[in-house]
Amino acid sequence: MRCAVLGDPVAHSLSPVLHRAAYDATGLDWRYDALRVAAGGLEGLVAGLGEEWRGLSVTMPLKREALDVAAEASPVAELAGAANTLVRGTAGWSADNTDVPGAVAALRERLPSPPVVATILGGGATAASTALALCELGAGSLTLLVRSPARAAETLAAIDAHRARPAVRVGSLETDDVVGDLVVSTIPAEAQSPGLVARCAGVPALFDVVYDPWPTPLVAAAGDRPLVTGLDLLVHQAALQFSLFTGLAAPLAEMRAAGEAALGRSR
């Protein structure tokens, strides 16, 4: 059986490390690769895959595109408006989103209590998934700080469709205050300006979805505040993918250890 992570860029992805570690730990003779697929190329790639292909991990810029190539989608993928997982079944490919439950698991693992008020930096597909995770944990107020309000439209629609219906405000990434129990950064490290880092200093907990380069400016300034990392998210969402692809329980500890070793660090 074969699986792969698809995206552009994709050479930096830790997904092959995590999934291969899971195969080794469970004795599966499966193959997992990284394939560069540009925006607009997912449908053609998927159509050409042979019967040996079982699962695909989908990263940027293909997460919203993945819904269009699937015969069916899970409720969470439909809610998020994006899929990071494609699983081949007897009826074709089905789309799922393990980013949302993966973020829920990562937040529960690292934070002393669920956040009630949070600020999310960015408005793309990952922002939508983390916002929905916060909804699942009971957050009642979310602020999205973005460069362009139009970029957050799909994320706002996803939050509005969640049964929790938290209060939501959209503000400027460049100027607005960062408030709440938690700040979630879904923006690249190079976009974390000194001014933005300073505005985040008063928030008591940080979730930065980036895992490389490390530490990001926000993480470097976090001090001893509770911290949820991109590796935490990656490991939990990959473990859920592994189970969807194989039908087996994921060896979470082995996957985490492989990711830490690949990045040359530990918690």
- The answer to whether domain 2-97+232-263 and domain 112-225 are alike in fold is yes
In 41-181, beta strands by DSSP E: 53-58, 72-73, 85-89, 92-96, 117-121, 141-146, 167-172
Rounded CA separation 101/121 (Å): 20
User: Which residues are known to be catalytic?
Assistant: 63
Give the pTM. Answer: 0.94
CB 5 within 8 A of CB 225: no
Question: What are the extents of the domains in the chain?
Answer: 2-97+232-263, 112-225
Q: CATH topology for 2-97+232-263? A: Rossmann fold (3.40.50)
pLDDT of residue 265: 66
Q: What is the second-level CATH architecture of the domain 112-225?
A: 3-Layer(aba) Sandwich (3.40)
At 185-223, the pLDDT tens digits run 999 999 999 999 999 999 999 999 999 889 999 999 999
Q: E strand or H helix at 224, and its extent?
A: none
Tokens of 139: 């957050």
pLDDT higher than threshold 90 for residue 150: no
Cis peptide before 61 (omega within 30 of 0): yes
